[in-house]
Structures are given as C-alpha cells and as structure tokens.
Structure 1
Amino acid sequence: MATITPAQLSIELQIPQKRIRDYLRSLYGTLPSEETRRQLTDQQADDVRARFSGAPEGETRWLLEPGDTVRRRSMHVAYGGQQQGGISTPRNRPEILIFTDPEAGARFGYDRFEGLREDGSYAYTGEGQYGPQEFVRGNRALRDAERDGKTVRLFRTRGTLATYVGAFTTGSPTHTIETIPDADGNPRNGIIFNLLPLNARVDLLPAYGGELESAESPVSYVGTPRAWSPPEFTDVIVPGMAQAPGERVTSRVEFELQAAFGEWLHTEGTPPARLPLRAGSTVIEPDMWVPGRNWIVEAKRSTARGHVRMAIGQFLDYAHVARKANLAALPVVLLPGPPEMDLRELMANLGITLVTRTEDGFLVSLPS
C-alpha cells in the first residue's frame, strides 16, 4: 500500500503542501468524499518531483501540519536529529522532536503514566529504558526547551511511519519524578514531562492511563457511576498540577473537606458517587456526583478568588459534557467557608449552589 503523501513530498521538496495539493488536484481531480488524505503512487510522486524539482534552495522550513503522516526516516532527512530514541534534537534548529508509540509503551506499563490529562496537558515519559532516568541528552533538552526557545514537535509513531500531532511547549512544573517500570518491569525513578499544546490534534493522542473505548459520539459517553470513597488526608500532601495562581499542591485541607462533606451527604440520605465523563479525547471527573440531588460538586481548599474562579470554570466544563449526554447536572461549589459577597453574587447569577462548612455541618445556599 502506498505511503507517499503530499506531506512527505512537502518536506522532501521544501514546498508548501497547498501547492502540491493544488497541483495534484489539477492532474487527478478531487479526492472521493470518503477519503480525507491523498495517498500517492510512485508515478504520481514522480510527477510532483518533476514539477517542483527546480524549487529554490534555502533554509529548511517546518512544513508539516497536524495530522500529517510521513516516514520517520524522511522527516529526519529533512530536519535532522537522531533517528533512534524518543527525543530527537536536530542541530541548529528551533525544534525538539519527540516520538510516542502508545501501543509499544503499553507493553512496558508506560500507558499508566502517559496520555492526555483532564486539564488538556500531555504527560510524556522521558528517555532511558533501564535505571533511573536522568537529565542528560534528550531529557535535558526537553526540560530546557522553553528556556532555549525551542518548539516541541510531537509525533505518534507506528512502525516506520510517524504522524505529526502538533506543536507543544512545557508547562509549569516542566516535569515530575514518579516510580515507573523499566523495560524488564523493575521499578525505578522516571521523568514525566508536562506538555501543553500550542497547535495540535490532541484527538490523535491516548487519554491518560490508556486508550479510551470507542464511542459513537465522544460527548455522549458517560461512564458508569462508581462507588465514592473519602480521600486519604491524615498524613500526606499529594503533588499536583497548578490549579490556581500560586497553587502547586492538592492539599489535605481540600481532601479533609471532601471527606467530611461525603459523610454529611450519607447522613442526609444522598450518598455521593464518582462519575467519569468522556470529553473529547480524555476523561474528566468532578470531585463528587450526588445522583440523589443531580449535583456535580467541585471542592476547593480556599475561598480566595482564584480558587473560586477555577471551580466555576471547571464546573462549566463538567456541566457542558454531562448535558450533552442528557444527564441532569446542577452545579455545586464546596468551600471551607463563605467567600466574599461579590463572588457569592456571581455564583448565584450563574445558578451555582454554594456549600460552605459550618461548625455543626454544612450550609447549602441555593441560587435565588
């Protein structure tokens, strides 16, 4: 089966894809409606090479578009960089090329640490199959990409082919250190990079923890509600991604608040549950789902404006997905105390129920 595409020829000839597609259209007409990507025979590819072989030489430009599939080798011929390993650093170019093969990674247990997270960031495992991963070579280059002015170009590979997912940058923090398996299944320290999309087809990536099951419509998928258990909060502070300005951890304060509220709900006869929701290419999950009241609950550890704003934004996302799936969803923000009056007015105007902790339980303030 042919694997030559306009994208392949684009990087080979350093000609924008639009010119190639326009030329092919003039020769062979438009694609059938059921086809989205043109696959070329050797003769058709030679016709394109003959037409554009006299193109002026100059600086090699980045010409791939998100979704383009090319032979990995030809991409390195055009842009340079190491052809082995997951992180490639072309010399004298403003890019770092990184490659992921989720199917191969799943065989080593990497699927539990890589993928598209709920917040839209992408978790990517560093280089090194054995021993603790260290910040050398590609790992160091990827860690320092933003500082060095480099764009991270992510590819999803399968065999000899590489599909360009798009452009990314590193988030804050750039990485975490987690215990991951080596190629033999032995535990070791691994680097999990935090990547944020700039211009990318994130639908080409697996969700965090593994590929999602197929669904007729991603927004119509609602996972089976699962039993809710109170989070552990006695001794640990769990590292997490930034949730609000200045916040770098999910604290035991928030976990203890959730646990107490869950117990209160049980006493009210409306126990909480967990409700995973499929949103596009990933799974999102509110802190609690209270089916007896149709509540989607988002808890925050502080009444500070930044935390309240974050809770409002998260709920709007949850509610949008839930309502697309014909699931009744009433918004509830859970806080350790009452926020400022203007924030209470804002939540009331948005139809959000505010629940605050009191000395003897919780106060539910319904929107007027």
Structure 2
Amino acid sequence: MVWEITVGQTLRRREVHSLVGGGSRQNGIAPVAGSPEILVFTDPASGADHGYDRFEGLREDGTYAYTGEGQNGDQTFQRGNRALRDAQAEGRNIRLFRTAGVMATYVGAFTLGEPAFEIRQIPSTAGPDRDGIIFNLEPIEAAACEVLPAYGGIEKATGVRDWIAPSSSQYLMASSDTAARAAMRDEFRLQAQFGRWLIARGDRVSALRLATAGTFIEPDLYNSSTGEVIEAKRSVARHDVRMAIGQALDYSNVARLNGFQVAPSILLPARPGEDLLELCHSLGITVWHSDRGGFTRLSPL
C-alpha cells in the first residue's frame, strides 16, 4: 500500500481509516491489520482530562512524549502498547496524528527513540496513580510538529515555579544502556545536592519554564537570587562540558527573549580542564563545581 496522506493534511478520522484500510477508530494506538502502518492519535484536550498532559507533548529536542493506552490500573504491553513497542523490530511505520474532535491532522512518520519508552507514575481515571508507559517518538521526515502541544501541558505558560529536587526514582529508563542509566542518576544526584546547598545558604532556587519555537524548555535550575540559569552535567569530559556550554547559552538567550535578565552557568562534579574553563569564561559562563562537600563558583573576569 502506498501512503497517500500528506504531512499537515487534516481529515475526518473515519476518512483516515478508510484510506489506510483499517485500524481501530476508538483507540489511541491503531495497528492496521495486514499493513505495516501503526496509526497513533494524540488528543491533548482529552489527555488533559486524564492528567496525561503532564507527561505528554513536544520536547525541546524535537521528540514527542506519548502516553500509552489504558485509563485504569498499570499500563502493560498489550494490544496497541505492544504493537508500538515492537514497531521497529517488526518493520512497521508509526504515523502520528493530532486529533481535535472528529478531525485528525497528519503530523508525520516517527520512529522510537532511545530509550524507546519510560515507565512513569501517571494519574488514573479512578483510583491511585499507576505505572504508565511514556513512548519516546522521534520524527523521521519533515513533520508538522507545530500542531503538537508542548511537553508538560497545553495550558501552562512561561514563568517561575517551585523547584523540586530530581530523583532517579522518578522514572525507570527502558534502555539496555546501563551506563546511560548510571549517568542520569549521577546527574540527578548532583543537581539535587547543589540545589539544596544553594537553599541552605539562603538562595532562592526555582524552576524556570520558557516558551520557544512552539514548545517549552527548562534549565536544570534557576537561581533567582543571583540571576543564573544553570545546566548540570555528570562529568568534566569534553563532550559533556561542550554540551553544557551550548545549552546554558541557549537557555540564557531564550530567557532574555521571555523577559528574564539572566546569566549562563554550568554545574560540574569537579573542576574542568583549564582550556575548557577558559572557554567558558570567554563566553561569559560561570562554572560551578563540587568541592569538599560544598560547591565552588568560578566566575568570568
């Protein structure tokens, strides 16, 4: 079967199913029998009614977080969830649609990222929070991502909110890369220690949500007492420091565009090499690093 729906095209959902030759008209994940296509429908308004908007949406890196099927009890890998998880292994195409009422807009073809999914604690329609499957979808063609809601809720806006120390227990990474999981734990631990250290010395630590390019981004920490946006990295390896530099500059620029006067800073577990430190200072970036149970600030001259 030749895929006939173009990126950005809006159709009635029943027309979509007629064109592709099947797939459930009620489910969010609709594998098409006898076809390589898996139709995935995201409805932000409906998702918000169930509290899914906190875990779903377009992330700053261009990936799309998508909540799996199942409104009550722990979500499991059955039916649509299993089909989406196994899409790559089975050579199937993931076709994402943004729905509003009976209408569906084709966003584009996606693939599963790395990790392919996370297990998060999400709300239940009736009852306590439960395990939810958050799929990590990456576009593989020019996609109409502008029709997708930003990650974390379609009604939320730019602004300062309370900072909550990150914890590696907040979610489980579904990855075979144990080194990646360990790195995430180390980075979360560093952020948590630094944030609590700042608060203990009297600084006001917050989370800062910034609008940009149809989505939202958030620095790891925002110290409103010193006017710094801070990006943490788990090592002083060159690639980590270079990544932190780029992110810190991006955050500070977007913050200024949103009306916040801030300076870029990075947080590392140790003092970086002198050449990297000189690079940071030449760009106006402050370097914080862990030091004897506390933290040291290395400011540009």
* TM-score normalized by the length of structure 2: 0.83
The residue number in structure 2 matching 1:97 is: 39
1:299/1:152 CA distance change after superposition, 3 Å? same
Take 2:200 and 2:172, find their aligned partners in 1: how far apart are those partners? 31
Per-residue displacement from partner, 1:334-357 (whole Å, max 9, x unpaired)?
Answer: 111112333323323433221222
Shifted more, 203-212 versus 163-172: the winner is 203-212
Contact 1:237 1:251 in 2 (8 A): no
Matched, 1:277 2:210: yes
Take 1:129 and 1:292, find their aligned partners in 2: how far apart are those partners? 42
Q: What stretches of structure 2 of length at least 5 have no aligned partner?
A: none
Contact 1:295 1:330 in 2 (8 A): yes
* SS of aligned partner of 1:328: coil
Contact 1:124 1:193 in 2 (8 A): yes
1:252/1:313 CA distance change after superposition, 3 Å? same
Take 1:209 and 1:65, find their aligned partners in 2: how far apart are those partners? 28
C-alpha displacement of 1:167:
1.9
Take 2:200 and 2:188, find their aligned partners in 1: how far apart are those partners? 19
C-alpha displacement of 1:191:
2.0
Contact 1:166 1:197 in 2 (8 A): yes
1:188/1:237 CA distance change after superposition, 3 Å? closer
Per-residue displacement from partner, 1:156-189 (whole Å, max 9, x unpaired)?
Answer: 2223211112221111111122343454445443
Per-residue displacement from partner, 1:273-319 (whole Å, max 9, x unpaired)?
Answer: 32211123332221222234321111222222332233223223312
Per-residue displacement from partner, 1:100-138 (whole Å, max 9, x unpaired)?
Answer: 222222223322332223443222122234444332332
* SS of aligned partner of 1:99: strand
User: Which of 208, 219, 224 is the aligned partner of 2:151?
Assistant: 208
User: Which of 294, 297, 305 is the aligned partner of 2:227?
Assistant: 294
1:251/1:142 CA distance change after superposition, 3 Å? closer
Matched, 1:357 2:279: no
User: Which of 158, 161, 179 is the aligned partner of 1:226?
Assistant: 161
Structure (1/2) with the larger strand percentage: 2
1:346/1:189 CA distance change after superposition, 3 Å? same
Per-residue displacement from partner, 1:9-30 (whole Å, max 9, x unpaired)?
Answer: xxxxxxxxxxxxxxxxxxxxxx
Query: 1:1-368 residue pairs with structure 2 within 5 A?
Result: 60-84=1-25, 85-185=27-127, 187-198=129-140, 199-212=142-155, 222-223=158-159, 225-228=160-163, 231=165, 236=169, 239=172, 246-248=179-181, 251=184, 253-262=186-195, 264-265=197-198, 270-359=203-292, 361-368=294-301
* SS of aligned partner of 1:318: helix
Take 1:179 and 1:364, find their aligned partners in 2: how far apart are those partners? 36
* TM-score normalized by the length of structure 1: 0.70
1:262/1:97 CA distance change after superposition, 3 Å? closer
Task: Report sequence identity in percent.
Answer: 49
Q: What stretches of structure 1 of length at least 5 have no aligned partner?
A: 1-59, 214-220
Take 1:180 and 1:290, find their aligned partners in 2: how far apart are those partners? 29
Take 1:195 and 1:335, find their aligned partners in 2: how far apart are those partners? 30
Take 1:160 and 1:237, find their aligned partners in 2: how far apart are those partners? 35
Equivalenced residue count is 298
1:240/1:338 CA distance change after superposition, 3 Å? farther
Take 2:283 and 2:209, find their aligned partners in 1: how far apart are those partners? 24
Contact 1:262 1:271 in 2 (8 A): no
User: Larger radius of gyration, structure 1 or 2?
Assistant: 1
1:226/1:64 CA distance change after superposition, 3 Å? same
Contact 1:108 1:185 in 2 (8 A): no
* SS of aligned partner of 1:319: helix
Contact 1:237 1:249 in 2 (8 A): no
Alpha-carbon RMSD across the aligned residues, in angstroms, is: 3.1
C-alpha displacement of 1:250:
6.3
1:269/1:108 CA distance change after superposition, 3 Å? closer
* SS of aligned partner of 1:276: strand
